[in-house]
Structure 1
Amino acid sequence: MSEQTLARLAKAASLKWRIVNLALALAAGSMTILVAALWLSEPRLPLRTHLAFGVLVVIGICWTTYAGWRLHRKGRLFVRDRVIAGWLALAFGVLCEGGLLLIGTARLAALPLIGAAALILVRAYVERARLRTIERRLRGRP
């Protein structure tokens, strides 16, 4: 059991996950720069469009920061990164749905995103609890 656990924990620092997080950082950073450039190049926009661009830039900065933190962090995370990603996805899904409802364009359009984010978050908490139980057993605590 401890070999399997150690192998799973080592996966967090593997090259594959580093490449995935680097891709996330580059994609989120690029999206943020492009949205900010578009936003700054259009001086006369309605207030709600300014708000939408601002929210998109904040979301991009958050995902870029998350990916940078994940790349920088080494060692055991005990699925903490998945819990954080789940909370980010859930918060941004709710924010997106709130914005869509506020402007009245599409009702409940982000509901699948919110459901998927909630599922990811629940699975991350379950996995974290499982890993913590295994850690306690390996250390000889009940």
Structure 2
Amino acid sequence: MSDEPGMSAEEMIGRLEGALSPWRRAGGVVALIAGVAGAIFVVLLWATEPGPLPGHTQLAFALLTGFCLAWAGHGGWVIARRVPLFALDRVIAGWLAVAASTVTTALVVAVAAGRGAGVIPAVVGGITFIAVSAVVTVRAHAVRAALLRRRRELGA
């Protein structure tokens, strides 16, 4: 690898790491498809609910639709960029997962409690998703911090 003075940042990154791997591209496609499908499902469910819905139910449908669209947007962005995810991108995706898991868990537990059944499985499942997304987010922060430390060491 030469230190050509006219080399752009994109060329340097391209030499360090190839274009988006098939697994990362597949992950982006899955996020895009699942997000769009989830948004369509939630909006159709919302639209077909009988009678006027209470405000908290309207808010729940709106939040779920928003999270689905956020995942679809993230998946589309990953695919459109066609470059590896950077450390900050992974941190953002991790926080999106933590927020979506937390809100979804709260909604599922509230619905289960309202029906008087299935609260324990809802709590256990929700905590599992929150824990996994939190671990992914902590790892993303650690990788980003290590890269920022390295950049400071190199004087960049």
Q: Is the 8 A contact 1:12 1:77 kept in 2?
A: no
> 1:23-55, CA deviations, whole angstroms, 9 ceiling, x for partnerless residues?
210121012112212221234264244333222
Gaps of 5+ in 1: 1-5
Q: Is the 8 A contact 2:38 2:68 kept in 1?
A: yes
Q: Which has the larger radius of gyration?
A: 2
Question: What is the match of residue 94 of structure 1?
Answer: 102
Residue of structure 2 aligned with 1:116, choices 105, 108, 132: 132
Task: Give the direction of change, closer, same or farther, for the CA distance of 1:61–1:124 in structure 2 (3 Å limit).
Answer: same
Question: What is the match of residue 39 of structure 2?
Answer: 32
CA RMSD, 1 decimal: 2.9
The alignment partner of 1:64 has SS state of helix
Give the aligned length: 135
Q: Is the 8 A contact 2:21 2:84 kept in 1?
A: no
Task: Give the direction of change, closer, same or farther, for the CA distance of 1:94–1:69 in structure 2 (3 Å limit).
Answer: same
CA distance in 2, matches of 1:45, 1:9: 56
Question: What is the match of residue 61 of structure 2?
Answer: 53
Counting only pairs closer than 5 Å after superposition, residues 1-142 of structure 1 correspond to structure 2 as 10=17, 13-44=20-51, 46-47=53-54, 48-75=56-83, 77-103=85-111, 104=113, 106=119, 108-109=123-124, 110-137=126-153, 140-141=154-155
Q: TM-score, normalised by structure 2?
A: 0.68
Gaps of 5+ in 2: 1-12
Q: TM-score, normalised by structure 1?
A: 0.74
- The percent identity for this pair of structures is 31
Q: Match of 1:72, as an amino acid?
A: A
